[in-house]
Amino acid sequence: MEQEAKNKNKIFIIDDDNFLLEMYVTKFKEGGFEVVASLDTKEALNRLREGLVPDIILFDIVMPDMDGFEFLKVVNEENLVKDCIKIALTNQWQESNIKKAKELGVSDYIVKANFIPSEVLNNVQKIIDKKK
């Protein structure tokens, strides 16, 4: 745990479900991450435009106003986070959604219903470790 604190990664979690968002915020903080959270993709975009630079963005696909795909398109078009790891965390399991997310540059596509929060944390950590 001490080593993780020295190499603290900043994760930006975006989900419109407050209960799930708080659960993931708690889990990632316990895992040694610096956590920033948003319930809204438009607010999340504004925070990125204002200079927030996360190491990882964990986002839901189904969101009000602007879905995760549109959010990702804007992030990519505006080059808001060059070296950031982008991971979809959603209950949209359809192959077409997975393909679309991969085309938009996600490193992983996690179906919420298939993983408990500690497994999501482990998956994210594995992706970070591979990138180093």
- Domains defined along the chain, listed by start: 2-131 (3.40.50.2300)
Residues 13, 39 contacting (CB under 8 angstroms): no
pLDDT range class, residue 7, cuts 50, 70, 90: low
Distance CA 18, CA 41 (A): 13
Q: No. of H helices and E strands in the chain?
A: 6, 5
Sheet with 34-38, edge to edge strand ranges: 34-38, 10-14, 56-59, 85-90, 108-111
pLDDT in tens, 45-80: 999 999 999 999 999 999 888 999 999 999 999 999
pLDDT in tens, 77-87: 999 988 899 99
